Amino acid sequence: MSLIQKLLGASAALALSAGAALAEPALIYDLGGKFDKSFNEAAFNGAERWAKETGGTYREIELQSEAQREQALRRFAEAGANPVVTTGFAIASAMEEVAKDYPDTKFVNIDGWLPEIPANVQLIAFQEHQGSYLVGMMAAMATKTNTVGFIGGMGVPLIRHFGCGFAQGAKAVNADINIVANMTGTTPTAWNDPVKGSELAKAQISQGADVIYAAAGGTGVGVLQTAADEGILSIGVDSNQNHLHSGKVLTSMLKRVDVAVYNAMTAGEGLETGGMTVLGLADDGVGVAMDEHNAALVTAEMTAAVEAARAQIIAGDLNVVSYYENDSCPAIQF
Amino acid sequence: MEKMPKWADATLVPLISLLLAALLSALVILAIGEDPVAALKLMVDGALMRSSGWGYTLYYATNFIFTGLAVSVAFHARLFNIGGEGQAMLAGLGVALCCLYIPWPHWSLALLGACLFAGLFGAAWALIPAYLQAKRGSHIVITTIMFNYIAFSVLGYMLVNVLRPARAMEPASPRFPEATNLPTFEDMFSTAAAPLFKSAPVNVSFFVALAACVFVYLLIWRTKLGYEIRHFGFSETAANYAGTSGVRITVVAMLISGALAGLMAVNTTQGEAERLILNSTEGAGFIGIAVALMGRNHPVGVLLAALLFGFLYQGGAELALWTNIPRELITVIQALVILFTGALDHMVRAPLERVFLAMRSKKEAL
- Asked if B324 reaches chain A (Cβ–Cβ under 8 Å), the answer is no
What's the mean per-residue pLDDT of chain A?
90
CB < 8 Å to A187, chain B? 149, 152
Check if the beta carbon of residue B202 is closer than 8 Å to that of residue B185.
yes
What letter represents residue B6's amino acid? K
Q: Is residue A10 included in any domain, yes or no?
A: no
Closest-CA distance, B21 to chain A, in angstroms, reads 21
The arithmetic mean of pLDDT across residues B80-107, rounded, is: 96
**Which residue among B168, B273, B317 places its CB closest to the CB of A64?**
B317
> How do strand A286-288 and strand A249-255 relate by DSSP bridges?
antiparallel
Is A14 inside a domain boundary? Answer: no
CA-CA distances (angstroms) from residue B312 to B17, B292, B320? 15, 16, 12
Same domain for A194 and A311, yes or no, is yes
* Parallel, antiparallel or unpaired: strands A275-279 and A286-288: unpaired
Q: Give the tens place of pLDDT for each residue, A123-175.
A: 999 999 999 999 999 999 999 999 999 999 998 889 999 999 999 999 999 99
Q: Over the stretch B202-250, which tens digit does the pLDDT of each residue have?
A: 999 999 999 999 999 999 999 999 999 999 999 999 999 999 999 999 9
Q: What is the 3-state secondary structure (H, E, C) of chain B?
A: CCCCCHHHHHHHHHHHHHHHHHHHHHHHHHHCCCCHHHHHHHHHHHHHCCHHHHHHHHHHHHHHHHHHHHHHHHHHCCCCCCCHHHHHHHHHHHHHHHHHHCCCCCHHHHHHHHHHHHHHHHHHHHHHHHHHHHHHCCCHHHHHHHHHHHHHHHHHHHHHHHHCCCCCCCCECCCCCHHHCCCEHHHHHCCCCCCCCCCCCCECHHHHHHHHHHHHHHHHHHCHHHHHHHHHHHCHHHHHHCCCCHHHHHHHHHHHHHHHHHHHHHHHHHHHHCCCECCCCCCHHHHHHHHHHHCCCCHHHHHHHHHHHHHHHHHHHHHHHHCCCCHHHHHHHHHHHHHHHHHCHHHHHHHHHHHHHHHHHHHHHC
CB-nearest partner of A324 from B167, B280, B313: B167
Q: Is residue A28 part of a domain?
A: yes
B280 touches chain A (CB under 8 A): yes
Give the nearest partner residue to B277 out of A7, A66, A187, using CB atoms.
A66
Cα–Cα distance, B287 to B284 (Å, whole number): 5
The angle formed by the CA atoms of residues A168, A188 and A91, to the nearest 5 degrees, is: 85
Q: Testing the interface with A: which of B161, B163, B169, B176 to mutate, by most A Cβ within 10 A?
A: B169
A95 and A152 housed in the same domain: no
Query: What would the mean pLDDT of A251-278 be, rounded to a whole number?
Result: 93
The pLDDT of residue A34 is: 86
User: What value, to the nearest 5°, has the Cα angle with vertex A240 and ends A237 and A246?
Assistant: 105
CA distances from B253 to B60, B78, B210, B234, B301 (A): 25, 10, 20, 14, 20
Higher per-residue pLDDT: B259 or B346: B259
Judge whether A66 lies within some domain: yes
Residue A288 placed within a domain? no
Q: What is the pLDDT of residue A22?
A: 62
Are B166 and A68 a contacting pair at CB < 8 A? no
Task: Find the range with the poorest average confidence among A6-20, A70-84, A277-291, B313-327.
Answer: A6-20
Tell me the residue range of the domain where A120 lies.
23-126+258-279
CA A66-B275-B327 angle, 5° bins: 5
* A29: confidence class by pLDDT, cuts 50, 70, 90: very high
Contacts of B326 in chain A (CB under 8 A): 62
| CB-based contacts of B319-323 (< 8 A; 24+ apart in sequence) | B319/B39, B319/B42, B319/B43, B319/B46, B320/A61, B320/A62, B320/A64, B320/A68, B321/A61, B321/A72, B321/A75, B321/B46, B322/A7, B322/B42, B322/B46, B323/B34, B323/B38, B323/B39, B323/B42
Domain assignment present for residue A291? The answer is no
Q: Which residues share a beta bridge with A26? A: A59, A84
For position B257, what pLDDT does the model report?
A: 98
Q: How confident is the model at residue A37, as a pLDDT?
A: 83
The Cα–Cα gap between B85 and A156 comes to: 21
pLDDT for the residue numbered A12: 43
Angle at A72 between CA A67 and CA A77, to 5 degrees: 140
Contact B313 A188 (CB under 8 A): no
What is d(CA B122, CA A87) in angstroms, rounded to the nearest whole number?
A: 33
Residue A1 — pLDDT band, cuts 50, 70, 90?
A: very low
Q: Same domain for A206 and A309?
A: yes
Could you tell me which of B14, B11, B78, B72 has the C-alpha nearest to residue B292?
B72
In a domain, A330, yes or no: no
Domain assignment of residue A12, yes or no: no
Residue B281's Cβ-count burial label (10 Å; 0-12, 13-18, 19+) is buried
Residues A134 and A248 in one domain: yes
Identify whether residues A51 and A134 lie together within a single domain.
no
CATH number, position A268: 3.40.50.2300
For CA atoms A314, A315, A316, A317, give the dihedral sign: negative
CA distance A126 to A119: 21
Q: Which residue has the higher pLDDT, A266 or A35?
A: A266
- List the domains of chain B with CATH numbers: 1-34+325-366 (no CATH), 57-323 (1.10.3470)
Residues A207, A273, single domain; the answer is no
Cβ atoms of A236 and A220 within 8 Å: the answer is yes
Question: Confidence band (pLDDT; 50, 70, 90) for B2?
Answer: low
* B278–A67 C-beta distance less than 8 A: no
Length of chain A: 334
pLDDT band at residue A18 using 50, 70 and 90 as cut-offs: very low
Q: Could you tell me if A175 and A109 lie in one domain?
A: no
Mark whether A179 and A227 lie in a shared domain.
yes
In total, how many domains does chain A have? 2
Residues of A with CB under 8 A from a CB of B: 3, 7, 31, 33, 61-62, 64-68, 70-72, 74-75, 89-90, 92-93, 101, 111-113, 115, 154-158, 185-188, 324, 327
The amino acid at residue A134 is L
> Do A62 and A85 sit in the same domain of this protein?
yes
pLDDT at B199 over 90: no
Q: What is the predicted pLDDT for the residue at A15?
A: 40
Q: What is the pLDDT of residue B141?
A: 95
Residues A173 and A99 occupy one common structural domain: no
- Quick one: A147 and A170 in the same domain? yes
Of residues A273 and B14, more confidently modeled: A273
Instruction: Round the average pLDDT of chain B to a whole number and report it.
Output: 91
Read off the pLDDT of residues A173-218 as tens digits, 9 standing for 90 and up: 999 999 999 999 888 788 889 999 999 999 999 999 999 999 998 8
Is pLDDT at A11 greater than 80 in this prediction?
Answer: no
Q: Are A145 and A251 members of one domain?
A: yes
pTM of the shown model:
0.86
Strand order in the sheet with A249-255: A178-183, A147-152, A211-215, A233-238, A249-255, A286-288
